[in-house]
Amino acid sequence: MIMIATVGIVAEEEFERAQAAICALAGYCDYEDWLDARWGLQFGLALAGVEAKLVVVDLASFLEWCALTETSADERALDAFASVAPATPGAAEPLAFALDRRLISVQTH
């Protein structure tokens, strides 16, 4: 059975806002530094036999989803959101998806 994981990222032009909204991102000096870390996570998962892919999500949609599901806005939640949201780089309208909170921690399917 192949394990699949999704690693969520935001577009470069949204990174500064993402740093303000997601506390863990404040430790990265710039978008490239954070993106390198996300690529590293994807690579590590691949080495462990997990099929992992990077998915760009709309920051506003992610933050709205966090509010609706009462979920902390962090990288783990970003990954969970990326696994259920369509990739929306440059989306004209924000999209929001509400899920049962028990499903938030499920990152493989």
d(CA 42, CA 7): 7
* Interval 40-90: pLDDT, tens: 999 999 999 999 999 999 999 999 999 999 999 999 999 999 999 865 544
- Over residues 99-104, the mean pLDDT reads 38
Q: Which residues pair with 53 in a beta bridge?
A: 6
Distance, C-alpha 4 to centroid of its chain: 15
d(CA 107, CA 103): 9
Residue 40, amino acid:
G
Q: Is the dihedral of CA 54, 75, 34, 38 positive or negative?
A: negative
Check residue 102 and give its pLDDT. Answer: 38
